[in-house]
Amino acid sequence: MRRRPVAVTIIGWLLVVAGVVAFAYRLNEAKPLHALQGENPWILLLEVVAIAAGAFLLRGDNWARWLAIAWITLHVAFSFLNSLSQVAVHFVVLLLFAYFLFRPAANTYFRRRETAGG
């Protein structure tokens, strides 16, 4: 049995919870009749991506690391539309994700999943 690094567990659950909460918030805010209008479908899709990235990180799928990095990178890019403080916060989160998801322990964890036929 392989051990999942604590940081991978935290990031995985953080993505799942953040995705579910943001998805529910967006649906409630948009109201059902407007959920698929404007930018809402794209925002909902990003929340589903967060949930998928977190769930597959917890499973040990290597590609989910890259999906999580892509997801937070999009947040950094979109933050430029709002404020520099949001850019800074999202950039720090990106650095933390990259650091913890590509450390040697995480590399071993994800490599074992790949060599196990997963």
Cα–Cα distance measured from residue 41 to residue 26, given in angstroms and rounded to the nearest whole number: 10
User: Hey, is 5 helix, strand or coil?
Assistant: coil
Confidence of residue 75 (pLDDT cuts 50, 70, 90): very high
What pLDDT was estimated at residue 118? 52
Give me 109's structure tokens.
């964890």
> Mean pLDDT score of the chain, rounded to an integer?
89
Cα–Cα distance measured from residue 68 to residue 57, given in angstroms and rounded to the nearest whole number: 8
Cα–Cα distance measured from residue 84 to residue 104, given in angstroms and rounded to the nearest whole number: 32
